[in-house]
Amino acid sequence: MSQSVKRAARIIDAIAADPRTVAELAEAFELHRSTMFRELQALEEVGWVRRRASGRYTLGTRLAALSKEALDSLDLREAGAEHVRRLQRRTGNTVHLAALMDRSIVYVDKAEDESGVRMYSRIGRAVIPNCSAVGKAILADLDRAGRDAVLAGVTWERYTELTITTRERLDRELALVRSRGWAADDREFEDFVNCIAVPIRSSLGIVGALSVTAIRMVADLDRLRAHLPAMRETADAIARELG
């Protein structure tokens, strides 16, 4: 039973990263196709996976509901909610709150820019750690093993000309982030957006990060850096809420 549960979890992880067919999953897990099909049928019955018309399996709606419940129960989101909105009103820019969850960095809260400009980010979505300010702010506080775990699934895709696409270059950037205490996304994911972030540390160590994001023509990095004192104050306040 324990092995079956672990395998089901690994199957869910696999199709979350890349929807796959029964044959592809059977090959990846070294199982007979009929065995994998039965595994997927069971997961489909409880709503954890669903089969697309193409024959590929992807995450089911039940997992979406569970993910919302998990996010709602996160201490960091609860502790930061009021502070995130206060910082958004103070800066006028979009504010994100991201949490370190096992081997992933996930957006857990967001207060939108008053101008009505909408960012790509969504609550519950995993952060791309090598080209996001919150990702780098958290990675800079982790030891080598922690970084390796978070970066294990990174594809090092180039989104813009400024995207960091190698581990060596990222490690150099993280050394700078750690020394100065804040991170930046300078047009690394979208060439018209920039962002700065600061870490949030509890008594247990790094738990997340807080960022301020803006359209570059509205506020460049120099203007965003002016918010660093308020951001650090907010991060400290959230940390105190966490105890």
Query: What does pLDDT average to in each consecutive run of 10 residues of the chain (243 residues)?
Result: 80 86 91 90 89 89 68 73 94 92 87 66 82 95 92 90 94 95 93 93 88 88 93 95 80
Residues 6 or more apart whose Cβ sits within 8 Å of residue 13: none
Q: Which two tokens stand for residue 24?
A: 């592809």
Same domain, 95 and 207: yes
AA identity, residue 25? L
Structure tokens at 85: 């909105």
Q: Dihedral through CA 105, CA 111, CA 116, CA 121, nearest 10?
A: 10
Tokens of 214: 């803006």
* H/E element, 154: none
Q: Could you list the residue range(s) of the whole structural domain that residue 8 is in?
A: 3-64
* Domain-located, residue 212: yes
- Global pTM? 0.69
The answer to the question of residue 234 being in a domain is yes
Residue 172 lies in a domain: yes
Tell me: do 96 and 188 sit in the same domain: yes
